[in-house]
Amino acid sequence: MKRVVVVGGGISGLASAYRIRQQASSVQLPLSLTVVETGTKMGGKVQTLRAEGYVCEAGPQGFLDNEPATLRLVDDLGIRSRLLPSEEAAARRFIVRNERFHELSTNPLKFLASPLLSFRGKLSVIGEFFRPARRDGGEESVRAFGERRLGREFTEIMLDSMVSGIHAGDISRLSLPAAFPKIAALERDYGGLFKGMIQKRKEAKRDAKAGQGARTVEAGPSGVLHSFDRGMAVPIEALTESLAGENLRGATRVTGIESLERGFRVFLADSLGESSTLDADAVVLACPAPGMALILDSLVPAAAASLSKVALAGVHVVCLAYEQAQIGGDVRGFGALIPRSEGLRTLGVLYVHATFAGHAPSDRVLLRAMVGGRHDPLANELGDEELRQLVRAELSPLLNIEGEPVFQRNFRWNEGIPQYEMGHLTRISNARDALKSYPGVFLTGNSICGIAFNSCVAHSEEVARKVTEYLLAAPELEEA
């Protein structure tokens, strides 16, 4: 019987464990599977609070339905009937500019007519079509790319707020090819963003006429946002239930790995400080990169050194609910991003009640705000009530809110979102190269494969395939 230890019980670890067991079963490979999670319950940062009729997400708010691997997992778990598509109102998105909410339009003429950018700023955006492509193949920050192709004003207002809302990152530090590979590919393959989008639309129409199915034009996110009837914890709960026959160990840390003549020894410490070990043929690290570095420090110092350089930005979520009569502003939409130029610490706010039906009582408004990020590390030092007061003070004048919330909760992630900063792809490549001497150790998780829920699920299939192939070729580990 082969033994696999998966380190990390978030979506990456659970989905990888599920797919490993599934693939091992398909080739009739006997398997002993253990998932080790530092938290008291499975899910990692995918956690949902259900209270008083509200569904509050501590982590991702949803996922786009453009990733086949996620839909395959949903079907395999038998939870498709629990999928919850976003409301039509979620197509409305806003950005704060000069202390006012402005609706973003995907129509180029309407966007250019909006007051979001100055006349000069709009000319810079239009000029992107005529700018020559960069062909040296060098890495570039999101800021450098944005200023070069779209102008400084667009970069500071639009790109900066988008990056803060998605990555909680610093556009001067984030690597474009690492954080936004599809955008980098448009310039590389087509000579520019607008040229690329136009050409890809032509290709999609041509494919549709040829009966090949429409191809998605992917300059940025596409697809319909989905959650589940009881929130994003639904697939976590389904995975946990499906893996109930395996060894799921919560409140336990992996402190190191040792190489044996055949396989590995994994060192554990539980919440009481009790130590133990597990022997394994293969180990899958699905935890944040700094945790991987600590685990690999004595086994593969070079890999640990590379992974330790991946920073994690603290991000804190504050959920506030109000009676509808308390809100004077327009909260029919997905939500709003807040550029740093506005001088606020709140990164953005989502209108949960308008996005997912049933995630708030029908007569209530549920807001979900984010604070912190790479630009604001001191947010980690704020207490729970300080975070709530900060968000209330900043959102109340913007949304014309009167009175106190009727419901509030917050979630703290001092080590939240991994930052794909300059050199990230090289760091991950170097770590993988260093691990080639130990082919039974595999890396996954949002520090490795992309920060989105979809990216983690998709990579779990690839990891499971590689683990199964390795186990089939590896000699049998002797019983302890």
Domains of the chain, residue spans = 2-43+231-310+420-473, 48-67+74-89+312-418, 117-132+139-209
Is the pLDDT at 219 greater than 70? The verdict is no
Fold of 48-67+74-89+312-418: Polyamine Oxidase; Chain A, domain 2 (3.90.660)
Helices (H), ranges, 270-383: 289-296, 301-307, 352-355
Q: Is 109 strand, coil or helix?
A: helix
Q: Counting Cβ atoms within 10 Å, is residue 330 exposed (0-12), middle (13-18) or buried (19+)?
A: middle
pLDDT of residue 107: 80
- Using one digit for the tens of pLDDT, what is the confidence trace for 301-334? 999 999 999 999 999 999 999 999 999 999 999 9
| Residue 15: closest CA among 55, 60, 70, 68 | 70
Arithmetic mean of pLDDT over the chain:
94
pLDDT of residue 216: 41
Q: What are 228's strand-pairing partners?
A: 83
| Residue 217: closest CA among 230, 232, 199, 235 | 199
374-378 mean pLDDT? 96
pLDDT of residue 476: 64
Cα gap 20→444, rounded to integer Å: 13
> φ and ψ at 250, to 5 degrees?
-90, 170
Per cent of the chain over pLDDT 90 is 88
pLDDT of residue 4: 98
pLDDT of residue 375: 95
Q: Are the C-beta atoms of residues 396 and 313 closer than 8 Å to each other?
A: no
User: Confidence band (pLDDT; 50, 70, 90) for 212?
Assistant: low
441: left (phi over 0), alpha (psi -120 to 50) or beta: beta
Fold of 2-43+231-310+420-473: FAD/NAD(P)-binding domain (3.50.50)
- Using one digit for the tens of pLDDT, what is the confidence trace for 396-410? 999 999 999 999 999
Q: Are the C-beta atoms of residues 336 and 355 closer than 8 Å to each other?
A: no
pLDDT of residue 478: 53
Q: In angstroms, how far is CA 334 from the centroid of its own chain?
A: 18
Fold of 117-132+139-209: protoporphyrinogen ix oxidase, domain 3 (1.10.3110)
Is the pLDDT at 440 greater than 60? The verdict is yes
pLDDT of residue 204: 75
Is the pLDDT at 91 greater than 60? The verdict is yes
- Using one digit for the tens of pLDDT, what is the confidence trace for 97-114? 999 999 998 787 888 888
Is the pLDDT at 191 greater than 90? The verdict is yes
User: Confidence band (pLDDT; 50, 70, 90) for 214?
Assistant: very low
